[in-house]
Amino acid sequence: MPMRIGTTTFNDRIEKGINDEFMRDSVRSAQERLLGKRLDAAEELGSWEDWRNLGEEIRSHTLEYLDYYLYELSEKVKENGGHVYFAKTAEEANHYIQKVVKRKNGKKIIKSKSMVTEEISMNEALESIGCDVIESDLGEYILQVDDHDPPSHIVVPALHKNKSQIRDVFKEKLGYLNTDKPEELTLFAREKLRKEFLSADIGITGCNFAVAESGTITLVTNEGNARLATTLPKTQITVMGMERIVPTWEELDVMISLLSRSAVGQKLTTYVTALSGPKSPLEGDGPEEFHLVIVDNGRSNIIGTEFQEALHCIRCAACINVCPVYRHVGGHGYGSIYPGPIGAVISPLLGGYEEYGELPFASTLCAACTDACPVKIPLHELLNKHRKNIIEGRGLSAEKIAMRGFQYGTTLPILYQVGTKLAPFLSLPFQTNSFLTKGPGPLKAWTTIRDMPAPNNERFRDWFKKRQKEESFE
């Protein structure tokens, strides 16, 4: 699956999300539960602000010296007996992975959850050379079996599906005969997937954090699928976004503590697995061959810009779980595999304003995301910077990013589209900017929308319905 999901317009996606009762209910209850768990976990820990400050400090330092740490990491992986491939683009990464798979004569590939492999469309690349690629994270597996339904959350990918839908998918596609009890569905998937693990030629994983000093990659799961994918197949390929690295094991501790608490409200996830190269020749399990693919795919363009902090992200989804806009439109509304506030910041950076220019406007700038972020990324400020760039008709301040997708012509339609759907949620960046009120043509629509009631006066849903009615009388 590429970063882009769905082919419908922003408007249609949002409308679909708003009208999907189950999806919105499940998003709401998931948000509430995850939020509650995270707050409990943070409180239990005490001095949460100190932890966040430490997290921020570590991420800033690491990104400041990213080239140094990546060098060290690659040296160590080699010392451990592994191979390292630096991929500038998605194509390069996929090409290398295809080459390894072909050389190993790999047919069946078992995967543990990885956002970056989604981002680069790795599954499709492997399927195109005749491989069978099987997702093993339960949520990802459900989506895959359901004809590649896109994920709607970065930690709970099948959040938008209810258990009877899942039962029906299993029934139709896999001949499942039991009830819609989560226990039974889970057991069924366990048994199906265990067989796949035992017969897979190659295991492919993402990487939560690499440790530079020892050439280690770590995988954080509750299900244990990443352990299976790195214990049974003879070849392991790990794909990491180039920023997912820490200097030493001491920082690994901090980042994993922050991730576990912020993502799922646990002190530690059930499994944290730290792998340093292939197994030793005497060991009886683990991969004989290990490849690390380090992916840029647009990330280095963000380095040295006003958006650099976006690369501090540890993909915990805490910002998503507090976002009022996500709550209303759901993950698919964003049209990117990265939804929510962090998605609205990085999707335009990785995919350009032309594709994702609406997303920075899908925010109330209420700053709940910034407060939730365990590494203190100023998300709402970064969103505001995007808006400013778009409204003022310029690209991102670093020209190299500007080249990637921004076109002046796309600006106004973006504003118009976003405006008509999300207006009451927007606290406009430039309320005093006369540019807006004097704007010609399409901007008129935009400026009238500015006067729409604020979200606390009228719930978004109600507003949306009413607005549709009004429009139909026009």
Residue ranges for the known binding site for [4Fe-4S] cluster are 313, 316, 319, 323, 366, 369, 373
* Interface pick for ligand SF4 out of 319, 337, 350, 449 (rule CB under 6 A): 319
Work out whether 134 is an interface residue with another protein (CB under 8 A).
no
What SS3 class is residue 415?
Answer: helix
At 62, the amino acid letter reads T
Residues 39-58 that bind another protein (CB under 8 A): 45-47, 50-51, 53-54, 57-58
Residue 91 touches which member of another protein, ligand SF4, none, C-beta under 5-8 Å by kind: none
Work out whether 86 is an interface residue with another protein (CB under 8 A).
yes
Work out whether 255 is an interface residue with ligand SF4 (CB under 6 A).
no
Residues 109-148 that bind ligand SF4 (CB under 6 A): none
Work out whether 98 is an interface residue with another protein (CB under 8 A).
no
Would you say 80 or 384 has its CB closer to ligand SF4?
Answer: 384
Provide the annotated binding site: 313, 316, 319, 323, 366, 369, 373
Residues 184-223 that bind another protein (CB under 8 A): 185-187, 190, 193-194, 197-198, 213-214, 222-223
Would you say 5 or 232 has its CB closer to ligand SF4?
Answer: 5
Element housing 50 (H / E) = helix 48-64
Size of the site for another protein (CB under 8 A): 108
Residues 377-416 that bind ligand SF4 (CB under 6 A): 377, 379
Would you say 360 or 374 has its CB closer to ligand SF4?
Answer: 374
Residue 318 touches which member of another protein, ligand SF4, none, C-beta under 5-8 Å by kind: ligand SF4
Report the chain's terminal Cα–Cα distance, integer Å: 40
* Interface pick for another protein out of 39, 268, 367, 436 (rule CB under 8 A): 268
| Nearest distance, CB of residue 333 and another protein, angstroms | 19
Angle, CA 270 vertex, CA 265 and CA 275 arms, to 5°: 120
Would you say 72 or 119 has its CB closer to ligand SF4?
Answer: 119
Q: Which stretch binds ligand SF4 (CB under 6 A): 34-42, 204-212, 326-334, 371-379?
A: 371-379
Residues 272-291 that bind another protein (CB under 8 A): 272-280, 282-286, 289
Residues 322-341 that bind another protein (CB under 8 A): none
Would you say 20 or 92 has its CB closer to another protein?
Answer: 92
Q: What is the DSSP string of 346-386?
A: HHHHHH-HHHHTTGGGS-----HHHHH-TT---HHHHHHHH
Residue 92 touches which member of ligand SF4, another protein, none, C-beta under 5-8 Å by kind: another protein
Residues 293-322 that bind another protein (CB under 8 A): 294, 296, 300-301, 303-304
* Interface pick for another protein out of 11, 266, 410, 420 (rule CB under 8 A): 266
Would you say 258 or 422 has its CB closer to ligand SF4?
Answer: 258
Size of the site for ligand SF4 (CB under 6 A): 15
Work out whether 315 is an interface residue with ligand SF4 (CB under 6 A).
yes
Q: Are the beta carbons of 229 and 194 closer than 8 angstroms?
A: no
Residues 325-344 vs ligand SF4: string with x where CB under 6 A? -----------------x--
45-50: which pairs have CB atoms within 8 A and are 24 or more residues apart?
Answer: 45/257, 45/261
Site residues (vs ligand SF4, CB under 6 A): 262, 313-319, 342, 372-375, 377, 379
